[in-house]
Amino acid sequence: MDDLATDRDATTGRDDTDPDTSRTDGAEPTDAGPTYCAHTDYAHDGPAVEELPATGEGAEGVERRVWDALYGIEDPEMPISIVDLGLLYGASVAGGHATVDMTLTYTGCPARKMLTEEVENVVGAVAGVESVDLRLVWSPPWSLRMVTDQGRADLREFGLSVPDADEESGSGGTARTEIQP
């Protein structure tokens, strides 16, 4: 018998080294998602436009400072903001407690620990944030449809061939909208 198999839970097949990807908020995978997810579900009633909070000069509030800080975090493998890459599903702040919902390009991402620690540290350093709850979310799964137009331009500049959002199939899945200034 394989030694690894003896360390795994017979019910779940998991061991103590497997990352916990269960949801702690009681949400089902079919939930619409967090307030700022800006996703469009083409399988149900066509595009729904949601706005992400304004960032940059003139933006106010802790939540917007959190989004500004998140824009400054780049994917470790290419120079593109994790927001423009579509990894952030939501960020909110209530009573000094920040909650960030994010995903990765795939569940086995080798940069998982590096990215999650950086997000926690950067958001935790924002004035007005006292604690951070980072939740990895796997539904909906990340796809190119979640990349913003700016993200697509950055990926092209990096040398990748990325289709325009309107060139992709609209059958099922999700798409990101642009960040509203």
Lowest mean pLDDT segment, chosen from 28-42, 92-106, 164-178 = 28-42
Q: Is residue 175 part of a domain?
A: no
DSSP category for residue 155: H
Q: Is the pLDDT of residue 153 over 80?
A: yes
Confidence of residue 28 (pLDDT cuts 50, 70, 90): very low
Q: Name every residue whose Cβ is closer than 8 Å to that of residue 72 and which is 6 or more positions away in sequence.
A: 81, 122
Distance CA 74, CA 83 (A): 8
Domain around 106? 30-167
Q: What backbone phi and psi angles, to 5 degrees, belong to 118?
A: -65, -45
Average pLDDT of the chain to the nearest whole number:
73
The CATH number for 104's domain is 3.30.300.130
pLDDT at residue number 165: 76
> What domain count does the chain have?
1
Q: Is residue 138 part of a domain?
A: yes
Closest alpha carbon to 105 in 75, 135, 130, 79: 75
pLDDT at residue number 181: 40
Express as a percent the part of the chain with pLDDT over 90. 45
pTM attached to this predicted model? 0.61
Condensed to tens digits (0 to 9), the pLDDT of residues 69-90 reads 999 999 988 889 999 999 999 9
Q: Is residue 42 part of a domain?
A: yes
